Amino acid sequence: MQRDVSEVWGRLLELTRDPDPGVRMDVLHNLTDGSPAELAARVVAAVEELMGDPADNVRGYAAFLRARQIRRGKVNVGSPSQPYASGLANHGRPASNAGHSGGLTR
């Protein structure tokens, strides 16, 4: 979603409250990989809000993304090349590299 379609971005922000943790994971990915500059403050607020999510995988992914945003100094930090934490990638399904120690990467 590289285009700035305001209705779509608004709907994505609404979906941060979807009851399905998998949807919230997808929303986190999309919000932090191509959102328009004018939504930066709202995207950061949504990521920070999801750091308190009841689902462990959503909470962990949000914390990973927020740390990456801070470290890189930008909102759009792209998709991680490796799972951010062992066993929590792929919406809580086992990661393909189950032996990976996880954690944040530099």
pLDDT of the residue at 79: 61
Which of the four pLDDT bands, split at 50, 70 and 90, describes residue 78? confident
CA distance 90 to 45: 23
By residue range, what is the domain housing residue 63?
Answer: 1-106
Asked whether residue 3 carries a pLDDT value surpassing 70, the answer given is: no
pLDDT of the residue at 86: 36
Q: Count of residues for the chain? A: 106
CA distance 39 to 1: 14
- Provide the domain count of the chain: 1
Asked whether residue 103 carries a pLDDT value surpassing 80, the answer given is: no
34-47: per-residue pLDDT in tens? 899 999 999 999 99
Instruction: Please state the rounded mean pLDDT for residues 7-28.
Output: 95
CB 97 within 8 A of CB 87: no
CA distance 58 to 88: 9
48-75: per-residue pLDDT in tens? 999 999 999 999 999 999 999 999 999 9
